[in-house]
Structures are given as C-alpha cells and as structure tokens.
Amino acid sequence: MMKLSARNVLKGTVKKVTPGVVNTEVIVELPGGIQIVSIITKQSAEAMKITEGKEISAVIKASSVMLAIECEGC
C-alpha cells in the first residue's frame, strides 16, 4: 500500500473519460453522486488504463482547495 501526504484522497469510480490531444478529462463519481472533474496528461491516463466504471481515487492537496462563501453586500 502507499500513503500520500495529500490530505484529500476521495474514493470513487470513473464516470466519464474525454481524451484530448495532450490532456484527458476524467470525471470521478463519489459515493452519493458528487462528481469531481480532473484533468491529467493523456500519457498518464493511458498508463493508468483509466476506463469508465473503474475504481479510482481523486487526490487533492488541502492547499489546493479554495473556499467561497455567499454574502450580502460583501
């Protein structure tokens, strides 16, 4: 097994794979139906053999998560 320093490792399944010329867009569906969009290089997507339905984890550093809040007249 491998342990990562990234604080968010979200298990899900591959919902959709859209290969571009250089990059590939992958939609990961988490349990409950929430979807996360990831863009990785096409070469990585192929090396990882990412296909729809496969189990996959979305890995996100805590410092890459910004926050947004609704406010009146802010």
> Minimum distance from CB of 26 to its own copies (Å)?
6
Cα 22 to its chain centre, rounded Å, is 17
Residue matched to tokens 């794979």: 17
| The token pair that represents 49 in the structure block | 């053999």
> Minimum distance from CB of 66 to its own copies (Å)?
4
- Of the pair 5, 52, the CB lying nearest its own copies is at 5
Instruction: Kindly write out the interface string for residues 32-71 of this chain, putting x where it contacts its own copies by CB under 8 A and - elsewhere.
Output: xxx-xxxxxx-xxx-xxxx---xxxxxxxxxxxxxxxxxx
Residue matched to tokens 């890459």: 64
Cβ-contact 39, 27 below 8 angstroms: no
> Minimum distance from CB of 28 to its own copies (Å)?
7
